[in-house]
Chains A and B, each alone.
Chain A
Amino acid sequence: QQQVKQSPQSLIVQKGGISIINCAYENTAFDYFPWYQQFPGKGPALLIAIRPDVSEKKEGRFTISFNKSAKQFSLHIMDSQPGDSATYFCAASPSGSGGTSYGKLTFGQGTILTVHP
Chain B
Amino acid sequence: DAGVTQSPTHLIKTRGQQVTLRCSPKSGHDTVSWYQQALGQGPQFIFQYYEEEERQRGNFPDRFSGHQFPNYSSELNVNALLLGDSALYLCASSLLTGDTDTQYFGPGTRLTVL
A residues adjacent to B (C-beta < 8 A): 6, 32, 34, 36, 41-46, 49, 89, 91, 93, 95, 97-98, 100-110
Contact = CB atoms under 8 A, between A and B. Distances in A.
Interface in B31-55: 31, 33, 35, 40-45, 48
Contacts of B40: 110
Interface string B97-113: 11101111111100000
B8 interface: no
Interface residues of B, number: 28
B114 interface: no
Interface in B78-95: 90, 92, 94
A91 B45 CA distance: 11
Interface in B1-47: 4, 31, 33, 35, 40-45
A91 B35 CA distance: 13
Nearest to A32: B101
Nearest to B96: A98
24 contacts: A34-B103, A43-B4, A43-B105, A45-B105, A46-B103, A89-B42, A93-B101, A95-B101, A98-B97, A102-B96, A102-B101, A103-B31, A103-B48, A103-B92, A103-B96, A103-B101, A104-B45, A104-B56, A105-B33, A105-B35, A105-B103, A107-B44, A108-B42, A110-B41
Contact of B33 (A6, A103, A110): A103
Nearest to B95: A97
Of the candidates B35, B44, B45, B90, the one having the most CB atoms from chain A within 10 angstroms of its own CB is: B45
B41 A43 contact: no
A9 to B, nearest CB: 9
Interface of B: 4, 31, 33, 35, 40-45, 48, 56, 58, 90, 92, 94, 96-99, 101-108
